Chains A and B, each alone.
Chain A
Amino acid sequence: MTDVFTLPDVGEGLTEAEIVSWKVQTGDTVTVNQVLVEIETAKSLVELPSPQAGTIGALLVQEGQTVEVGTPIVRFGGTGGADDAPAAASGAGGQAGADAAAPAGGTAEEPDDAGGATLVGYGDRGGSGSRRRARRAPAAGSSAPAGQTTGVPADTTTATPAATSGAAPASAPPATPAGSPAAESGPVLASPGRPLAKPPVRKLAKDHGVDLARVPATGSRGEVTREDLLAYLDGAGGGGQAGAVAGSGPVAASSATAGTGQPERREERVPVKGVRKATAQAMVTSAFTAPHVTEFLEVDVTGTMDLVRHLKATGLLGEDVRVSPLLIAARAVCWAVRRNPMINATYADDAITIKHYVNLGIAAATPRGLLVPNIKDADRLDLAGLARELGQLIGQAREGKTPPSAQQGGTITITNVGVFGVDSGTPILNPGEAAILAFGQIRKKPWVVDDQIVPREVCQLAVSADHRVVDGETISKFLADVGAAMENPAVML
């Protein structure tokens, strides 16, 4: 059995995954099927069980890194021996030299079609590639037919050995089979006809407004690879940050860019993916389907703060329970929802569905980005229960371990912008919900009480709501109720 565990394709045709968190450490003894690591694919969070019993020799990929299927991620056996490490970083293999030296079967050796596309049914490219390769001549290295079901018979007859070597060092300019439009030159700058590239690469180029004919092609048939395009984009975007994108490390490209004398890091291009992408889509959906209206209210929350201080001092809710103003706000929202049920609803399919339960979402800035996990049936919990759930939710979010199930089925949301030291905002609704409360910072301000100006603890509340579902009256009543409860939590009793 192999001593290296390579990243498997856990879906059908997934090409890459992010290492979210390691569940073991170097030196740990593990059993068969013990969970080693949690990864995030384009489809889901997945735990990978150990394929063998033994000792963890080394974790070859860091948390947060996105690597391709087939990349070694764990080495079993004794510690030491760092030779596996480079393979993890090189990923796509834009720099062919390093890849050619990568040990152990299973690394994806084709440089051309990696990354991005998630095509159901395309199968485990890395796995099948390695098995097939054993029978193939490494010297001939005609890698294309090995991995491709579409392998055209003509490949073997026209391509001379070494000509199309996917694993060949970069020193050999990628030649192309005779008869191909790009056959004459080595690194093709512009093919006579339409530049060659696979559809996902074309799409990416189109998305970035790049004319593929301008991108230096290094593919085995003279085609522009994803890495070529990313390297080109890096260059166009100001160089310097090569390697930040998809771990492709196009060193040559960035140094070439440096030669053009462009100032460094004037702009930075960050690929939109994962949680950022999901957030972007959700916000666009929400902003352009639900007409938002936002109302504001400034509230004296000294009563809330007194309660928080009292609960903290007495430990009434339990020793290990964290008490915060957010807890009282959460409670206040549940209470106000009960008095204004329409605020806790969904507009869809020409009907308004009123939820007689509160799955209370808390917008959380996590290491993975903005997530909105929710507390199920928050309205049925007592204060201690709510505090516990809130603590767990925040803890999970902070550790980046929020499960997908916690992010579904929310009915109303609180965004605690106050923790960032601001007063208020006009939040965008979590899609499918009718209201979101922005909870501003709490600070002492002069406040009029019984015609006297006294220092009180004050904060701003804002509610954005879906005007298709509720009108000003309901929104105002809801906001006023939340405010009243924050001002005097006793009203909730």
Chain B
Amino acid sequence: MASPTHVGGGVNVDDLPHVDQPMIQMLTPEGKRVPGGEYERFAEDLDDEMLRLMYRDMTLSRRVDAEGTALQRQGQLGLWVPLLGQEAAQIGLGRATRPQDFIFPSYREHGLALTRGVPPETLLGIFRGVSHSGWDPQAHNLHPYAIVIGAQTLHAVGYAMGVQLDGDIATGDQDRDTATIACFGDGATSQGEVSEALTFAGTYNAPVLFFLQNNQWAISEPTTVQTKAPLHTRGVGFGVPGVRVDGNDVIATYAVARAGLDSIRAGNGPLLLEAYTYRMGAHTTADDPTKYRSDAETENWRAKDPIRRLRRYLLESEMADQEFFDGVDAEADELAAGLRKACVEMPDPDPQEMFSHVYSHEHALVSEESAWHAQYEASFAEAEAR
């Protein structure tokens, strides 16, 4: 394969160890730790404490997710997008990022958001219809959820090109070198935006990680009708090498993401990381997966559950005991109760807020519309007064 000739120097994909390798796994579904080859050293940070933290992250994510689904069923949310089954992929990546890295999520990244310090109740605003985002993207280096499929990959590459122009890569300063992460799914790979993003990332050698959570289903379309080639090879023709990791294995996901992000921050150019996982729940609460996939398939994946395998490993290697697990469960219940309370009590926003983030500066037309709308709203109050 030819190395791309372009601005910013190139990377010869043949020099990278990632192409055409089988799926990287370091923790089997049975909870057995297996060597991760060249990635093993990137898992060195994962001491007992870190593994317990990741167990906690995953369990809390799952509980937040379950509560989100329940709140939707109770009419408190207009919609919820379950992440059930994808906890390891998100926590593994999230814990491998550094504070200065910037993440562009799709709309299922609740676990990832928790690792970026976003309070879970803030995630609900958009699904309750009271906010367009809910959190300050700059405070968490987490962009608002993108609803338009694949659009965020272009935003991410653009941001990464900006990072490149700022010179915030390859300085060797651990707190300065910055990677950008574009989260997307298997379905999004069929969107033109993703190909465009890969094109720019490749030709500009942008410091971006394409983090592809392949959960096997684009709503009701299986990956088999989306692609003939394995998705981790999708970037190769664009000059973006890829690697596939067991996305239900939090250790491998962490290690491979860590390796990739280090490489990107060092200026080696973009990478595509396919986290091979499974969406155990519905696409959204408006979807009924029993209509298009078999119980047998779901059961097969249930046996590969990400949380259960880490729990087994922690227990059998005596890194955690029952008391720890009970503690996490109690914390999860408490979190869920707080989440429920915050959701139900969430105030309706001031309607004027919808005008406040359209442009960063004063804008004549928006101001005019804002003024008109204020008057319109006021007319109801007057009618009430009469």
Contacts and interface: CB of A to CB of B under 8 A. Distances in A.
Q: Are the chains A and B members of one assembly?
A: yes
Contact of A123 (B78, B284, B294): B78
Given A11-B285, A124-B78, A131-B348, A137 B291 contact: no
Determine the main DSSP class of A at the interface with B.
Answer: loop
A185 to B, nearest CB: 26
Interface string A40-77: 00011111111100000000000000000000000000
B100 interface: no
Contacts of A48: 73-74
B74 A49 contact: yes
B380 A12 contact: no
10 contacts: A7-B75, A10-B73, A11-B285, A49-B73, A51-B75, A137-B380, A139-B383, A140-B380, A153-B376, A404-B290
B129 interface: yes
B344 interface: yes
B326 interface: no
Interface in A103-148: 120, 123-124, 126-128, 131, 135-137, 139-140
What are the 5 A-B residue pairs with the smallest beta carbon separation, nearest first? A8-B75, A44-B288, A137-B384, A51-B74, A11-B286
A127 B383 contact: no
A79 interface: no
Given A1-B344, A127-B78, A137-B384, 17 more contacts: A5-B74, A6-B75, A8-B73, A9-B78, A12-B79, A12-B284, A33-B70, A47-B73, A49-B70, A49-B74, A51-B75, A123-B78, A124-B78, A135-B381, A140-B384, A161-B383, A403-B290
Contact of B380 (A44, A51, A135, A404): A135
B125 to A, nearest CB: 14
A51 B76 contact: yes
A120 B384 contact: no
Contact of A137 (B129, B287, B383): B383
A156 B379 CA distance: 8
A115 B171 CA distance: 62
A369 interface: no
Interface in B350-379: 376, 379
Contacts of A376: 295-296
Interface string B254-267: 00000000000000
Nearest to B130: A131
Contacts of B287: 43
Contacts of A33: 67, 70
Contacts of A5: 74
Nearest to A45: B288
B216 interface: no
Nearest to B66: A33
Contact of A10 (B72, B348, B380, B386): B72
Nearest to A153: B376
Interface of B: 67, 70, 72-76, 78-79, 129, 284-288, 290-291, 294-296, 337, 340, 344, 348, 376, 379-381, 383-384, 386
Interface residues of A, number: 41
A408 interface: yes
Contacts of A124: 75, 78, 129
Contacts of B78: 9, 12, 123-124, 127
A162 to B, nearest CB: 10
Nearest to A47: B73
A46 B80 CA distance: 14
Nearest to B76: A51
Most buried by B among A43, A45, A136, A405: A405
A10 B383 CA distance: 34
A409 interface: yes
A376 to B, nearest CB: 8
Nearest to A377: B296
B199 to A, nearest CB: 31
A127 B290 contact: no
Given A51-B76, A124-B78, A161-B383, A408 B291 contact: yes
A427 B296 CA distance: 29
Contacts of B337: 32
Contacts of A135: 380-381, 384
Contacts of B340: 32
B371 to A, nearest CB: 13
A153 B379 CA distance: 12
Nearest to A10: B73
A1 B284 CA distance: 26
A161 B382 CA distance: 12
A128 B129 contact: yes
A46 B73 contact: yes
A136 B380 contact: yes
Contacts of B75: 6-9, 51, 124, 126-127
A43 B288 CA distance: 7
Nearest to A8: B75
A32 B291 CA distance: 28
A340 B72 CA distance: 49
A405 B290 contact: yes
A11 B291 CA distance: 15
Interface string A261-294: 0000000000000000000000000000000000
Contacts of A405: 290, 294-295
A207 B136 CA distance: 51
Nearest to A39: B73
B294 A409 contact: yes
A127 B344 CA distance: 12
A43 B286 contact: yes
B285 A408 contact: no
Contacts of B383: 136-137, 139-140, 161
Interface string A193-223: 0000000000000000000000000000000
A78 B337 CA distance: 24
